[in-house]
Amino acid sequence: MSTVESELRVGMVGYAFMGAAHSQAWRTVNRVFDLPTRARMALICGRDESKVATAANRLGWDGHTTDWRDLINRDDIDVVDVCTPGDSHAEITIAALAAGKHVLCEKPLANSVEEARAMVAAAAKAQAVGVRSMCGFNYRRVPAVTLMRQLVESGRLGVIRQVRAVYLQDWIVDPQFPLVWRLQRDRAGSGALGDIGAHIIDLTQYVTGQRITGVSAITETFIKERPLPAESSGLAASTGNGSVEAVATGEVTVDDAAVFVARLDGGAIATYEASRFATGRKNALRVEINGSLGSVVFDLERLNELEFYEATGPTAGQGFNRILVTEGDHPYMSAWWPPGHIIGYEHSFTHEMRDFLEAIATGTDPTPSFADALQVQLVLDAVVRSAELGSSWTEVEPTLVTVAA
């Protein structure tokens, strides 16, 4: 066990769902992993003084502030963790990088390609002086997902031929569910597509090592008007039931569901679907990848399991092998419990923080980089454009080589 020599002081902006999840990870990461540095939960930032004070106390941050500019400029902050809605990612992140802070930015990287490009440029500039940046596609660090990547990378699946990926939820099926910020384009950028579709785009590209080159897409908003919320934040909003008076409504400006077919640059073809209208599906990120020699299947609602089929050996013994990804030699799992003692959703963040801390401490670039995240943004953009053009085939723009000035 190493002697901890150094400490990285973390300042986090945002304290809602993602803020709570990240806090749990920062609190845990050095308790289970041996790392060359320790994270200190130094400062949390939110706009409402009373709420952020409560959050700091509850979540275990040393201090709090209502001004993110203060946070990124303080000398006693080394790392900035951006957990706000997508519309403020670019501004905060670019400023933090300019201030020399390592940045972890939640996904999606930004609400537009333009913003994402600016962030990539800022990250490249910062990287030249040793400042690290990373985008928070946490599902890469679910052990079963990392294992999928290892299987593909080692050639166990052969040539990847087909990808099918869905991310299905149902939390807005009720037409009376209110118009929270995630249903407003100016705040959230897009709906199911950017929120959860981004995850399956990143995950499948990461696992296959192939990138999407073009898409034909349909997006749909099934419920076009919804009640305005009294007050709401993220997923937790609910309508005031029992109310008899007329409720003001507003327009839903994002997609409820998005589906698309795609080609990948390694020759694979794919289907993707992101939906908040899949009744009964709560957090159903499901991916199947077929290669010439084998296949893998993953379901986030059973994230400790991976199904793996190998088309080798005698036919009579072949089948989908349900691997319980809880062994000490599975990715990240030696830090946790004995085999069969499962982990949960939040552990993916702890693994993310682990890798981010290690990258900073060892002076290497963590992944996914902002450039990786820009490429996901470009896919999202192609999906939106295809849908707007009546589902016509739409090429994904190249990321371009970003030159640090």
Region 82-121 residues binding a copy of itself, contact defined as CB under 8 A? none
Residue 397 engages a copy of itself in binding (rule: CB under 8 A): no
Candidate segments 66-74, 77-85, 324-332, 360-368, binder of a copy of itself by CB under 8 A: 324-332
Candidate segments 57-65, 71-79, 110-118, 181-189, binder of a copy of itself by CB under 8 A: 57-65
Q: Tell me which residues in 32-51 interact with a copy of itself (CB under 8 A).
A: 32
Rounded CA-CA distance 385/376 in Å is 14
Q: Tell me which residues in 166-225 interact with a copy of itself (CB under 8 A).
A: 166, 169-171, 173, 214, 216-218, 220, 222
Using CB under 8 A, pick the residue from 74, 149, 164, 385 that binds a copy of itself.
164
Q: Phi then psi for 139, rounded to 5 degrees?
A: -70, -20
Helix, strand, coil percent content, the chain, rounded in steps of 5: 35, 25, 40
Rounded CA-CA distance 377/103 in Å is 18
Using CB under 8 A, pick the residue from 155, 209, 266, 319 that binds a copy of itself.
319
Amino acid identity, position 85: P
Using CB under 8 A, pick the residue from 338, 363, 401, 403 that binds a copy of itself.
338
* Angle in degrees, CA 205, 211, 213, rounded to 5: 140
Return the number of the residue (95 or 142) whose C-beta is nearest a copy of itself.
142
What's the token pair of residue 365?
């670039």
Residue 322 engages a copy of itself in binding (rule: CB under 8 A): yes
Q: Tell me which residues in 254-273 interact with a copy of itself (CB under 8 A).
A: 257, 259-263, 267, 269-271, 273
Return the number of the residue (273 or 381) whose C-beta is nearest a copy of itself.
273
How many CA within 13 A on the CB side of residue 302? 12
Provide the 8-state DSSP code for 174.
S
Contact 185, 253 (CB under 8 A): yes
What strands lie across the sheet with 133-136, from one edge to the other? 63-65, 37-45, 6-13, 79-82, 102-106, 133-136
Using CB under 8 A, pick the residue from 346, 361, 385, 402 that binds a copy of itself.
346
Residue 57 engages a copy of itself in binding (rule: CB under 8 A): yes
Residue 28, H or E segment: helix 17-32
Amino acid identity, position 102: H
Contact 219, 387 (CB under 8 A): yes
Contact 72, 64 (CB under 8 A): no
Q: Tell me the three state secondary structure of residue 300.
A: helix
Return the number of the residue (18 or 72) whose C-beta is nearest a copy of itself.
18
Site size for a copy of itself, by CB under 8 A? 101
Rounded CA-CA distance 376/113 in Å is 10
Using CB under 8 A, pick the residue from 242, 329, 401, 405 that binds a copy of itself.
329
Distances (CA, A) of 213 to 153, 257, 375, 381: 20, 21, 10, 12
Return the number of the residue (124 or 379) whose C-beta is nearest a copy of itself.
379
Residue 52 engages a copy of itself in binding (rule: CB under 8 A): no
User: How far apart are CB 403 and a copy of itself at their closest, in Å?
Assistant: 33
Residue 345 engages a copy of itself in binding (rule: CB under 8 A): yes
Residue 402 engages a copy of itself in binding (rule: CB under 8 A): no
Return the number of the residue (93 or 210) whose C-beta is nearest a copy of itself.
210
Return the number of the residue (68 or 309) whose C-beta is nearest a copy of itself.
309
Residue 144 engages a copy of itself in binding (rule: CB under 8 A): no
Q: Is the dihedral of CA 272, 273, 274, 279 positive or negative?
A: negative
Using CB under 8 A, pick the residue from 64, 102, 161, 182 that binds a copy of itself.
161
Return the number of the residue (269 or 400) whose C-beta is nearest a copy of itself.
269
Provide the 8-state DSSP code for 136.
E
Residue 236 engages a copy of itself in binding (rule: CB under 8 A): yes
Q: Residue 127: count other Cβ atoms within 10 Å of its Cβ.
A: 16
Amino acid identity, position 353: M
Give the per-residue contact string, 276-315, with a copy of itself (x = CB under 8 A; - = no).
-xxxxxxxx---x-xxxxxx----xxxxx-x-xx-x--xx
User: How far apart are CB 200 and a copy of itself at their closest, in Å?
Assistant: 13
User: How far apart are CB 330 and a copy of itself at their closest, in Å?
Assistant: 6
Residue 380, H or E segment: helix 370-388
Return the number of the residue (134 or 257) whose C-beta is nearest a copy of itself.
257
User: How far apart are CB 369 and a copy of itself at their closest, in Å?
Assistant: 26
The CA radius of gyration of the chain, in Å to the nearest whole number, is 21
